[in-house]
Structure 1
Amino acid sequence: AYDTDARAALAYLKASEHCTGALGVVGICIGGHLAFRAAMNPGVLAVTCFYATDIHNRGLGAGMNDNTLDRGPELKAEALMIYGRQDPHVPLEGRQKVQAALVAAGTHFTWHEFNGAHAFMRDEGYRYDPELALQCYRLTLDLFRRKLGEGDRTDVANNTGAAETKH
């Protein structure tokens, strides 16, 4: 159901009069894994995966959706992969396995490992690192600006053909 749900959500977004047709996805934790899979769909140009769990250990739907590593060549979107070095859910060996699979698949990606625990961007608890979180948000915004463009669609922005860029 994960992939079917992602396709439905992406189709809904793409059908919006406010969509340029360029799509990007972001996910955190298991959502990072699901975003990675969603980015295998046509039209998705960028994906950010924050400490994506269960890619390395094939833990998403045993026997049904546990093939993410094998599907690396299907990822056409540019990926930003962000992990914490002290993340017990995605240990060093797991991160190395994911990175090696991306390289082997010829995926266009950027890889960052920071000194942080799992969920270092969640704004509560001892793991939270606000400065690191802001840095990661900036990386994501940079990727999305570069791959998706910026601003409103010119044909729906204000009926004059001139777009107003909103920040």
Structure 2
Amino acid sequence: MGERISITTPDGNFDAYVARPAQSPAAAVVVIQEIFGVNQVMRDITDGLAGQGYLAICPDLFWRVEPGVDITDQSEAEWKKAFALMNAFGVDQGVKDIQATIDTIRQDPGCNGKVGAVGFCLGGQLAFLTATRTDADAAVAYYGVGIENRLGEAEGLSRPLMMHIAEEDKFVPKEAQAVIRQALDGKANVQIHTYPGRDHAFARPGGEHYDAADAQAAGERSLAFFQTHLG
């Protein structure tokens, strides 16, 4: 269903997976990867957004470390590689690459000019930073790891942001969740949804903590949010 395009930066080019909707022009959504690269899960999410009428694009944000990463969460060796990639990844440069992705897809003939973003895990933190640092029109963060360390940027949060937090997330402990809520609750442009009993990556199909009902609930909330802010 998808295609590959190249995105140009001052440091070089990187690939992105693109899925196009049946009708265009349409609003675009940048899908921000987990620590497993642009794998089948990310491509399926991208395809699914296209099926909902969005021009969806998933950039290879690990390209500066290792281009073309496509691994799963199904083996210890893959987990070790994923964490090594995450540790080598530069978040600040990654946000700049997201802005380059936004610029590229916004200029695509199939885009109507509106661009949102949705990110998962590491991508959840990047989605938060997309809302504070880029000109994306809206962003959704699923179980973002490390956001509690980035809350100094909350003052610059001018874009609509939705967050999905797993109450039992082993990577985002309750203390971190409390800090996030203290900083962001009450902001008119922020919506936070907490999922009781859920662990990290509850919306990752095939994952250890996947929960179909809450994944569907979060997905429906995200789509409604995009419909509101992207049209």
**TM-score under structure 2 length normalisation:** 0.56
Give the conservation status (yes or no) of the 8 Å contact 1:75–1:107. Answer: no
Alpha-carbon deviations, 1:61-88, whole Å to 9, x = none?
A: xxxxxxx211112222111111111111
Alpha-carbon deviations, 1:104-131, whole Å to 9, x = none?
A: 8x45111111120111111114411011
Match of 1:111 in 2: 192
Match of 2:26 in 1: none
Q: Which amino acid aligns with 2:144?
A: A
Q: Which amino acid aligns with 2:137?
A: L
Give the conservation status (yes or no) of the 8 Å contact 2:142–2:163. Answer: yes
Q: 1:87 aligns with which of 169, 174, 177?
A: 169
Distance 1:102 1:7 in 2: 23
Match of 1:31 in 2: 123
Q: Which amino acid aligns with 1:98?
A: I
Q: 1:130 aligns with which of 196, 203, 212?
A: 212
- The alignment partner of 1:38 has SS state of helix
Q: Following superposition of structure 1 onto structure 2, how do residues 3-152 of structure 1 map, counting pairs within 5 Å?
A: 3-41=95-133, 43-56=135-148, 58=149, 68-103=150-185, 106=187, 108-115=189-196, 116-149=198-231
Q: Which amino acid aligns with 1:109?
A: V
Distance 2:106 2:169 in 1: 35
Distance 1:42 1:18 in 2: 21
Distance 2:120 2:161 in 1: 14
Number of aligned residue pairs: give it: 138
Give 5+ residue unaligned stretches, structure 2: 1-92
Give the conservation status (yes or no) of the 8 Å contact 2:128–2:147. Answer: no
Structure 1 vs Structure 2 CA RMSD: 1.6
Distance 1:97 1:54 in 2: 11
Alpha-carbon deviations, 1:42-99, whole Å to 9, x = none?
A: 542211100000111x3xxxxxxxxx21111222211111111111111111011112
Give the conservation status (yes or no) of the 8 Å contact 1:120–1:133. Answer: yes
Give 5+ residue unaligned stretches, structure 1: 59-67, 150-167
Distance 1:30 1:134 in 2: 21
Match of 1:65 in 2: none
Higher relative contact order (Cα pairs below 8 Å, separated by 6+ residues): 1
- The alignment partner of 1:87 has SS state of coil
Give the conservation status (yes or no) of the 8 Å contact 1:76–1:107. Answer: no
**TM-score under structure 1 length normalisation:** 0.76
Deviation at 1:146, TM superposition (A): 0.6
